[in-house]
Amino acid sequence: MRFIDDIYKPCVEKCKNIQNIPSVLNILDNGKAVLDDDRKCDLYIAFYGGHHFHKLYAAFASTNFPYTESKDIEIIDWGCGQGLATCVLIDYLIENSINPNIISVTLIEPSCLTLNRGYNFTRQMLQSTFSSTCTIRKVNKYIDDLTANDLASDMETIKVHLFSNIIDVEAFSLNKLHRLMLASFQGYNRLICTSPDNGPTYRLDDFYNLFSQSYQLFYSVSSERPIYQKVFYFKSKQYETRRIGRYERQFTVNLT
């Protein structure tokens, strides 16, 4: 897997000798901090990148991505951080020999430094397979500050929205996000929402319900089953099979 080999493991190597683990978790605000330097970005990937990868890979396996073969798609990565969700999706498509025409990736993130890292990681992952056909757009804003003008989209494409560890963050309005999406993304939209299982997971259900009240939703998937995969465990300084808790909601909606 290119994400594991080229992004996750190099950050683990940089950070594996960390001794004061509680201090690091405090600095990262248990994964919720807006990161403002490269060291914190490396630490975030080292501590959480493996969990992101396995949760997202499991979610993508529940999405009918072969349907997108040779079709035009847009990827929108909300609160993208370093673009990890987009990178895992690209890795998943390549590993499973699925070849949509990715016409654009939109990365939305309030930290300029983190956003630029996400841009570079995304460009790195796109190379050799998708890079010649894809535009990467950077939107340096908090979700509550976005307007429809920030989110250029084509009605004829399939929109894939990635909400990785962001819907459960209570710092923005789900109602405002819902209205923004209705105004910005006509046509077919796939929303993939993943979060840990130890936070306000009810927000994923609330977000789902905002759409279901007005639209018929297709191919809905919900899961709270933990997965068990190898990640680097800082207490033992080695890769171990660990429990990865998750809560997931995904669905398709045709916004007209």
| Digit-coded pLDDT (tens) for 64-77 | 898 999 999 999 99
Q: How sure is the predictor about 131, in pLDDT bands with cuts at 50, 70 and 90?
A: low
Q: Is 2-255 CATH 3.40.50.150?
A: yes
Highest mean pLDDT among 18-27, 195-204, 225-234: 225-234
| Distance of alpha carbon 125 from alpha carbon 92, whole angstroms | 11
Give the total residue count for the chain: 256
Does residue 169 or residue 130 have the better pLDDT?
169
Look at strands 187-195 and 247-255 and give their pairing.
antiparallel
Does residue 217 or residue 30 have the better pLDDT?
217
Q: Is the pLDDT of residue 133 over 80?
A: no
In angstroms, the Cα distances linking 66 to 70, 80, 91, 158, 220 are 9, 24, 14, 13, 17
Q: How sure is the predictor about 256, in pLDDT bands with cuts at 50, 70 and 90?
A: confident
pLDDT of residue 219: 94
| Distance of alpha carbon 220 from alpha carbon 218, whole angstroms | 6
- Mean pLDDT for 219-242 is 95
pTM as predicted: 0.95
Q: How sure is the predictor about 230, in pLDDT bands with cuts at 50, 70 and 90?
A: very high
Radius of gyration for the chain, computed over Cα atoms and rounded to the nearest angstrom: 17
Which residues are 221's β-sheet partners? Answer: 250
Helix 112-126 to helix 38-61 angle (10° resolution) is 50
Q: Is the pLDDT of residue 40 over 70?
A: yes
